[in-house]
Chain A
Amino acid sequence: MEITVKDVEYLAEAAKFEFTEDEKQKFAQALSDVINAVDVLAQTDTQGVQPTIYVISVKNVFREDEVLPSMDRDILLKNAADVQDGCYRVPKVVE
């Protein structure tokens, strides 16, 4: 399986990266290498095998519906780069 520059462009769009043409080439190659290496998985017979999502048998862990104090807004927003009127600020979003 070969990852093309076009694939890289698609993946970069989905993951929100932007690359130069050189970088696209480089990532296409690096991705192809890994994809080829993991292809042993596709070659493995897994007929009738169920996927394992959770490695330990834990289930039904819940919290009760209790209100806990929220975090002080100033502390919460302290790490944000752009804050206005107690909100995170981003460039105008057009819907």
Chain B
Amino acid sequence: MKYEVVIGLEIHAELSTQSKVFCGCSTKFGAAPNTQCCPICIGMPGVLPLINKKALEYTIKAGLALNCSIARYTKMDRKNYFYPDLPRACQISQYDMPVCQNGYLDIVVNGSTRRIGINRIHLEEDAGKLLHDQYADSTLVDLNRSGVPLIEIVTEPDLRSAEEAKVFLETLRTILRYIDVSDCKMEEGSLRCDVNISIRPEGQKEFGVRTEMKNLNSFRAVYRAIEYEANRQIAIMEEGGTVLRETRRWDEGAGKSFSMRAKEHAQDYRYFPEPDLPPIEIDDEWVEEIRRQIPELPDQKRRRYVEEYGLPEYDAGILTSSKDLADYFENCVKLYENPKAISNWLMGDFLRLVNEKNIEISDVPVTAENLVKLLKLIDSKVISGPIAKTVFEEMFNTGKDPEAIVEEKGLKQITDRDELVKVIKRVLEENPKSVEDYKKGKKKALGFLVGQTMKATRGKANPQLVNEILLEELEK
């Protein structure tokens, strides 16, 4: 039988506010344990939470970017349960009045667009961190992360494959970074994803029993876990068994998921309105003000790049995959009239070096001005294409001006015809075999001779001119 996989995601993204959501403690990552805590975020008796306005605005911003409707009246609720990382034994979250509802996100998978529904986005606080490894018989509790603002994004069960889930997450991450509400670093836990997954025979309307998978720490883990879990469920069905409603833990090392707890006795969180926080009214004016802060989103940008700059879809997709890269591109375009040439450089050596050196685009020392200068040096034939690559690498390492590098290292292109004729004559003398080959009709030999000429000039010869002269000389 053929099965269809049904996937819904619950994504927690830490908001990039400076301070926590209910107190003034810093949200900076990596501080010594319990040094970013106060009576409020460790839940001492009698202290009261205060909502960080920016955290709420970021939630609204995310909702707008994901096409949600924004609640005009909302409140915070308490979710009650005991766990050492939850100092008040209740998490301040939202239950029946999330800030955002009924949105969607369009994703492009294998060239076709799929619309994935967003059920809701709500604001809540993060829990602390448990450190399990130091001691055999005890666990340590670090509450630095307790109270860091989170948005929980819940999708509709609209995803149908591991690939779709992966693309959804990538697209979502790009958007959240675009609108600057979260840095979405999975490795630092600022983006986390739980996966609800079930299978059903193709054509069946009702959903199958779903399992929830936790501890997915990378996009790769999400992909693998879905593949694994879908196959596990299919195998159970094939054998005539039934899938249990349960929570499972993904073990990336083992490449397997393990049952954590059966969901038969679903935990009763006894949600009720947070009595310590006044309700929130969001008027149109406020929503519009936040909407105005949303930059052009990747999807729109991609389409515009194709139309306005005549870029291929592929280029537009890559250039808009990060806001920093898109901004960089646009800065260059303002200074230089050939968008495709810029795109080629960015997608080529630029991104290669970014990846090799594992740095952020915002930290690349090459300014848009200098990159454009480099392109102009090529256009005006001051340097050759191959030399430009060398110059760029130097620019990338030092941040220096390309003209200065060319000057310093004497990399100017040789465009003096007489000088080149001399060199080429020597090359031809030294390679009689190739000359013979060429004359016999082996056109490939020309490439070799060009290469030898470039070598002889240490790459500085104008390749076009070299071609021209070589042909002349060979025809003689």
Nearest residue (CB) in B for A16 is B82
Q: A68: CB under 8 A from chain B? A: yes
- Tell me whether B139 and A59 are in contact (CB under 8 A): no
Q: A1: CB under 8 A from chain B? A: no
**A54 contact set on B, CB distance < 8 A:** 275, 278-279
Q: A16-B82, A66-B24, A84-B138 are in contact. Are A76 and B278 (CB under 8 A)?
A: no
Q: A59-B279, A63-B24 are in contact. Are A91 and B139 (CB under 8 A)?
A: yes
**B50 contact set on A, CB distance < 8 A:** 61-63
**B279 contact set on A, CB distance < 8 A:** 53-54, 59
**A76 contact set on B, CB distance < 8 A:** 34, 37-39, 42
Q: Cα distance A91–B139 when bound, in Å?
A: 6
Most buried by B among A68, A69, A88, A95: A88
- Tell me whether B37 and A71 are in contact (CB under 8 A): yes
Q: Cα distance A72–B142 when bound, in Å?
A: 14
**A88 contact set on B, CB distance < 8 A:** 34, 84, 140-141, 143
Q: A58: CB under 8 A from chain B? A: yes
Q: B130: CB under 8 A from chain A? A: yes
| Interface size, chain A (Cβ < 8 Å) | 32
Most buried by B among A14, A61, A77, A93: A93
Out of A65, A86, A91, name the residue touching B34 (CB < 8 Å): A86
Which of B31-89 touch A at CB < 8 Å?
32-39, 42, 50-56, 75, 82, 84
Nearest residue (CB) in A for B260 is A95
Q: A22: CB under 8 A from chain B? A: no
**B37 contact set on A, CB distance < 8 A:** 70-71, 73, 76
Q: A92-B136, A92-B137 are in contact. Are A70 and B25 (CB under 8 A)?
A: yes
B345-359 vs A, Cβ < 8 Å mask (1 yes, 0 no):
000000000000000
Q: B19: CB under 8 A from chain A? A: yes
Of the four ranges (under 10, 10 to 19, 20 to 34, 35 or more), the interface on chain B belongs to 35 or more
**A85 contact set on B, CB distance < 8 A:** 33, 134, 140
Out of B36, B142, B277, B280, name the residue touching A87 (CB < 8 Å): B142
Within the complex, the shortest CB–CB distance from A90 to chain B, in Å, comes to 5
Q: A67: CB under 8 A from chain B? A: yes
Q: A44: CB under 8 A from chain B? A: no
Within the complex, the shortest CB–CB distance from B360 to chain A, in Å, comes to 23
Out of B18, B135, B143, name the residue touching A66 (CB < 8 Å): B18
- Tell me whether B141 and A87 are in contact (CB under 8 A): yes
Nearest residue (CB) in B for A85 is B140
**A6 contact set on B, CB distance < 8 A:** none
- Tell me whether B140 and A64 are in contact (CB under 8 A): no
Nearest residue (CB) in B for A91 is B138
Q: B281: CB under 8 A from chain A? A: yes
**B140 contact set on A, CB distance < 8 A:** 84-85, 87-90
Nearest residue (CB) in A for B45 is A79
Within the complex, the shortest CB–CB distance from B48 to chain A, in Å, comes to 11
Nearest residue (CB) in A for B84 is A90
14 contacts between A and B (CB under 8 A): A53-B279, A58-B278, A59-B281, A62-B50, A62-B53, A70-B37, A71-B37, A71-B39, A84-B140, A85-B33, A85-B134, A87-B33, A91-B137, A91-B139
9 other A-B residue contacts (CB within 8 Å) besides A59-B279, A68-B19, A69-B24? A14-B270, A53-B75, A53-B273, A65-B55, A70-B37, A86-B34, A87-B131, A87-B140, A87-B142
